[in-house]
Amino acid sequence: MASIKMILDKRKVKPDGSYPICFQICHQRKTTTRSIKIYVLEKDWDDESKTIRKSNPQHKSLNLKLKKEYADIQSQLLLADDVTVQEFLKPVIQPKEPIEIKKTVYQFANELITQLKADNKTGNAWVYESTVNVLKTFHITDDLYFEAIDYQFLTQYNSFLVKRSLKHNTIYLYLRTIRIFYNKAIKLKIVNKGLYPFDDFKLRPEKTKKRAVEMDILKAINNAELPIDTPLWDNRNYFILSFYLIGISVVDLCLLTKENIKGGRILYKRRKTGKWYDIKLQAEAEEILNHYKGRSRYLLPIADDKAINDERLMRGIKYKTKIINKYLSRLAKDLKIDQKITTYTARHSWATIAKKAGFSIELIAEALGHEYGNRTTAVYLDNFDQSVIDDANSTIIKLIQ
206 assigned to some structural domain: no
Tell me how many domains the chain contains: 3
- What whole-number distance in Å separates Cα of residue 288 and Cα of residue 323? 19
62 assigned to some structural domain: yes
- What whole-number distance in Å separates Cα of residue 299 and Cα of residue 293? 6
What is the average pLDDT score of the chain? 87
Domain that holds residue 50: 3-89
Residues 156 and 254 in one domain: no
Report the SS3 class of residue 69: helix
Q: What is the pLDDT of residue 346?
A: 94
Burial 49-66 (b: 16+ CB within 10 A, else e): ebbbeeebbebeebbebb
Q: What is the pLDDT of residue 377?
A: 43
Residues 78 and 141 in one domain: no
Q: What is the pLDDT of residue 57?
A: 78
Chain segment 333-346, per-residue pLDDT in tens: 999 999 999 999 99
Contact predicate 244/282, CB 8 Å: yes
Task: Please state the rounded mean pLDDT for residues 257-270.
Answer: 95
169 assigned to some structural domain: yes
Residues 155 and 264 in one domain: no
Residues 182 and 243 in one domain: no
Is the per-residue pLDDT at 94 higher than 60? no
Strand (E) positions, 249-302? Answer: 261-262, 265-269, 276-280
Is the per-residue pLDDT at 378 higher than 50? no
Chain segment 189-239, per-residue pLDDT in tens: 888 888 899 998 988 888 766 778 899 999 999 999 999 999 999 999 999
356 assigned to some structural domain: yes
Residues 331 and 286 in one domain: yes
Q: What is the pLDDT of residue 92?
A: 44
201 assigned to some structural domain: no
Q: What is the pLDDT of residue 204?
A: 87
Other C-beta atoms closer than 10 Å to the C-beta of 284 total 17
- What whole-number distance in Å separates Cα of residue 125 and Cα of residue 27? 59
Residues 236 and 371 in one domain: yes
Residues 253 and 150 in one domain: no
Chain segment 50-82, per-residue pLDDT in tens: 899 988 878 888 888 888 888 887 777 676 555
127 assigned to some structural domain: yes
Residues 282 and 395 in one domain: yes
Better-predicted residue by pLDDT, 397 or 14: 397
Residues 356 and 235 in one domain: yes
Contact predicate 138/158, CB 8 Å: no
Residues 270 and 368 in one domain: yes
Task: Please state the rounded mean pLDDT for residues 115-144.
Answer: 91
Contacts of 359 by beta carbon, 8 Å cutoff, 6+ apart: 392
- What whole-number distance in Å separates Cα of residue 244 and Cα of residue 320? 20
Contacts of 140 by beta carbon, 8 Å cutoff, 6+ apart: none
205 assigned to some structural domain: no
What is the domain-level CATH number for residue 304?
A: 1.10.443.10
Residues 183 and 296 in one domain: no
Residues 237 and 348 in one domain: yes
Chain segment 3-25, per-residue pLDDT in tens: 778 888 888 787 777 888 888 87
Q: What is the pLDDT of residue 34?
A: 78
138 assigned to some structural domain: yes
Q: What is the pLDDT of residue 320?
A: 95
Q: Of the candidates 131, 166, 195, which is a domain's last residue?
A: 195
Q: Of the candidates 164, 195, 226, which is a domain's last residue?
A: 195
Between the alpha carbon of residue 193 and those of residues 65, 148, 198, 277, 352, the distances in Å are 20, 13, 11, 38, 43
* Closest by CA position to 157, among listed 137, 127, 185: 137
Q: Of the candidates 151, 166, 195, which is a domain's last residue?
A: 195
Give the pTM. Answer: 0.66
